[in-house]
């Protein structure tokens, strides 16, 4: 049985779920997303990935600044939705909105709740060195990612996996999981279990100050920072490769069997000593340039510094 659905999402992570819902034959009566933002050299307004996708399918799009006004609640209720599906939307849903659809609001969250509730679950899982992550379909309530769980899918985090790679994997897995959850909901077969509050961990938003690499930290921590912040915002260091001091993002790395003074460049493969052990940088990005392999980067450098800052 098809459902009347309001879809609420904004970034690229959300788009596969909207595509899957449409493909399953559900009626998406409206899409809510964040308003277009200036982007590119001309700073023209650019719609979100979900906005652009909705327009391709001729689905009405709404971009309210808030959902806390009586007008917003009235408009939302007018959709007469069976359920709202929320995937990285970006606005808080007040109680009046949460209680409007007949079956409530289902959220797709990219972690194994209650671990990593909040804004940056993918990055935080990798930065912490977690061996696994996953996606969960949760029935939303007023608390931050505290609602009961309906379905879950686990995913291993490889030792060198980046946040970008895990993001793409969970985006695809989550789309399938939400489609299965909606199918079960339409049959009256979707049940929910409360979260165990004892395991709750908060995934706070990434602060720019966290992005600078501190080579005095153990190699595993440095490696987890690099892959956890790749591709955005990117962990960075400063060095002079022959053209003056510059800030360089490290996008991929691996642990290396070497020792030295923290920050020391140990070989021409860009193995960098840390407080304990070392990491080998595999991919970098200079300011204003695209990502490149370390070998290609070094071929274009006029000098290899003895130490990174």
Domain total of the chain: 2
Q: Which tens digit of pLDDT belongs to each residue from 137-149?
A: 999 999 999 999 9
The angle that helices 15-23 and 49-56 make with each other, rounded to 10 degrees, is 20
Is 83 found in the same domain as 142? yes
> Which of residues 165, 181, 203 is at a domain's end?
203
Instruction: Decide if 309 is inside a domain.
Output: no
Averaged pLDDT for residues 81-109: 97
What is the CATH classification number for the domain harbouring 290?
3.10.25.10
What is the CATH classification number for the domain harbouring 132?
3.40.50.170
pLDDT at residue 1, as a whole number: 82
Instruction: Decide if 308 is inside a domain.
Output: no
Instruction: Decide if 126 is inside a domain.
Output: yes
Is 96 found in the same domain as 127? yes
Task: Work out whether strand 83-87 and strand 105-109 pair parallel, antiparallel, or are unpaired.
Answer: parallel
Instruction: Decide if 305 is inside a domain.
Output: no
Instruction: Decide if 304 is inside a domain.
Output: no
Is 235 found in the same domain as 197? no
Q: Which of 8-12, 14-18, 82-86, 283-287 has the lowest mean pLDDT?
A: 283-287
> Which of residues 145, 178, 203 is at a domain's end?
203
Work out the pLDDT band at 51, boundaries 50, 70, 90. very high
Residue from 233, 266, 265, 274 nearest 250 by CA: 233
The answer on pLDDT for 301 being more than 90 is no
Q: Answer for the pair 84, 6: CB distance below 8 angstroms, yes or no.
A: yes
pTM: 0.95
Q: Which tens digit of pLDDT belongs to each residue from 186-232?
A: 999 999 999 999 999 999 999 999 999 999 999 999 999 999 999 99
* Enclosing domain of residue 227: 208-299
Q: Which residues contact 179 (CB under 8 A, 6 or more apart)?
A: 17, 20, 21, 23, 24
Work out the pLDDT band at 78, boundaries 50, 70, 90. very high
Is 95 found in the same domain as 160? yes
pLDDT at residue 242, as a whole number: 78
Is 47 found in the same domain as 157? yes
Q: Which tens digit of pLDDT belongs to each residue from 248-261?
A: 999 999 999 999 99
Is 259 found in the same domain as 183? no
């Amino acid at each position: 049985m098809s459902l009347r659905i309001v879809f609420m999402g904004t970034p690229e992570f959300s788009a596969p779920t909207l595509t899957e819902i449409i493909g399953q034959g559900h009626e998406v009566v409206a899409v809510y997303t964040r308003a277009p933002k200036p982007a590119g050299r001309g700073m023209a307004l650019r719609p979100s990935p979900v906005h652009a996708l909705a327009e391709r399918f001729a689905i009405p799009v709404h971009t309210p600044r808030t959902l806390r006004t009586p007008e917003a609640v009235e408009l939302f209720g007018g959709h007469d939705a069976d359920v709202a599906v929320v995937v990285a939307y970006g606005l808080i849903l007040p109680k009046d909105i949460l209680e409007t659809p007949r079956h409530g609001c289902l959220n797709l969250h990219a972690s194994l709740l209650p671990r990593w509730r909040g804004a940056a679950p993918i990055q935080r899982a990798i930065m912490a060195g977690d061996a696994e992550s996953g996606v969960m379909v949760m029935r939303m309530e007023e608390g931050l990612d505290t609602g009961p769980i309906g379905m879950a899918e686990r995913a291993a985090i490889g030792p060198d996996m980046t946040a970008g790679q895990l993001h793409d994997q969970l985006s695809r897995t989550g789309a399938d999981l939400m489609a299965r959850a909606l199918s079960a909901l339409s049959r009256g077969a979707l049940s929910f279990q409360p979260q165990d509050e004892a395991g709750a961990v908060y995934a706070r938003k990434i602060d720019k100050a966290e992005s600078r690499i501190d080579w005095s930290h153990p190699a595993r921590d440095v490696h987890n920072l690099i892959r956890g912040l790749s591709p955005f915002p990117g962990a960075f260091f400063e060095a002079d490769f022959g053209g003056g001091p510059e800030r360089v993002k490290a996008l991929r790395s691996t642990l290396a069997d070497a020792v030295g003074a923290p920050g020391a460049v140990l070989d021409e493969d860009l193995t960098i000593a840390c407080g304990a052990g070392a990491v080998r940088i595999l991919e970098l990005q200079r300011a204003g340039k695209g990502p490149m392999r370390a070998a290609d980067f070094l071929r274009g450098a006029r000098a290899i510094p003895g130490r990174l800052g």
